Amino acid sequence: MENSPRSQSAPPKKQPVRATERFLLSREEAAQVLSISQRALDYLIANRRLPTKRIGGRVLIPVADLRKFARGDHTELIVA
């Protein structure tokens, strides 16, 4: 039997989970998805323009709500 590089290689690495495959994102991840600063995201959360879920001490944002927010027109300023 021939020893090929494939038979001795490590198992394939797990691919990172894409944001679109998850249900909830952290504040930092949500800001990145929307291409806004974390401060702007916090403003949206504080003004109840973006809903959140609390799990323990973590504040998480549902991906479905991020998509809904991104589809809308937002002509007003985020930070006043």
pLDDT at 12: 72
Q: Note if the pTM is more than 0.75.
A: no
List of residues 6+ apart from 52 with CB closer than 8 A: 45, 59, 60, 61
For the chain, domains (ranges, CATH) are: 21-80 (1.10.1660)
pLDDT at 21: 76
Integer-rounded Cα radius of gyration of the chain: 19
Q: Which amino acid appears at position 33 of this protein?
A: V
User: 55 by DSSP, 3-state: which?
Assistant: strand
What are the pLDDT tens digits along the chain (80 aa)?
555 555 566 677 766 656 557 899 999 999 999 999 999 999 999 999 999 999 999 999 999 999 999 988 776 666 55
Is residue 14 a contact partner of residue 23, using CB atoms and an 8 Å limit? no
State phi, psi for 47 to the nearest 5 degrees: -95, 15
